[in-house]
Amino acid sequence: MFNGPQDLRPNDNGQFLYVGRLAGSIPAGATTLDVGANVGVSDDANVDLGSIASNFDGLRVLFGADAEVRTERWVLSGELVGACLDADRVVVDNTVADDTRCPVGGHLTGGFTTGPHEFRLRYDRFDPDRPGTGALEDRWTLGYAFL
């Protein structure tokens, strides 16, 4: 249960954001599978949701699922996150609308370890489901770590 916005301002409408998560791990020899799922719900008033919407009023339902398979050398992980926004009033690019939208995003990451070196390649995709635009946000990331 969370109360208020992400910074130090007081609660914007006296409501809570209720969240829950289930997660588990399945070991199989040198391989491990980690899985999880989460859900959240809140009744919002004048909430800034970043690139999704500003001044959002309405019901927000959040969801997510993730999995990771790891061996001694290899890792593969993915995550899907999203929301269903049932707006009483939402402002996007200075336009007020009453609508229901479902932004969704996720990532797929693969990597391997050799000696003290770890390499990863990650693909992220996000669809903000904003009115008037079909723009998807895609990003590739290459990572290296010296362990």
pLDDT tens for the chain, 147 residues: list them: 776 666 666 666 677 889 999 999 999 899 999 999 999 999 888 777 777 777 778 899 999 999 999 999 999 999 999 999 988 865 666 666 667 889 999 999 999 999 999 999 999 999 888 766 666 789 999 999 998
Strand partners, 79: 66, 107
pLDDT in the model for residue 39? 97
Name the amino acid, one letter, at 15: Q
Do residues 58 and 87 touch, judged by C-beta distance below 8 A?
A: yes
pLDDT in the model for residue 75? 97
Question: What DSSP string describes the chain?
Answer: -EES-SSSSPPSSS-EEEEEEEEEEEEETTEEEEEEEEEEEEEEEEE--TTS-EEEEEEEEEEEEEEEEE-SSEEEEEEEEEEEEEEEEEEETTEEE--EE--EEEEEEEEEEETTEEEEEEEEEEE---TT----EEEEEEEEEE-
Task: Count the neighbouring beta carbons within 10 Å of the beta carbon of residue 27.
Answer: 9
Do residues 40 and 18 touch, judged by C-beta distance below 8 A?
A: yes
Q: List the structure tokens of 42.
A: 């809140």
pLDDT in the model for residue 116? 95
pLDDT in the model for residue 20? 96
pLDDT in the model for residue 45? 81
pLDDT in the model for residue 74? 97
pLDDT in the model for residue 15? 79
pLDDT in the model for residue 4? 61
The string over 53-80, giving b where at least 16 C-beta atoms fall within 10 Å of a residue's C-beta and e elsewhere, is bebbbbebebbbbbebbbeeeebebbbb
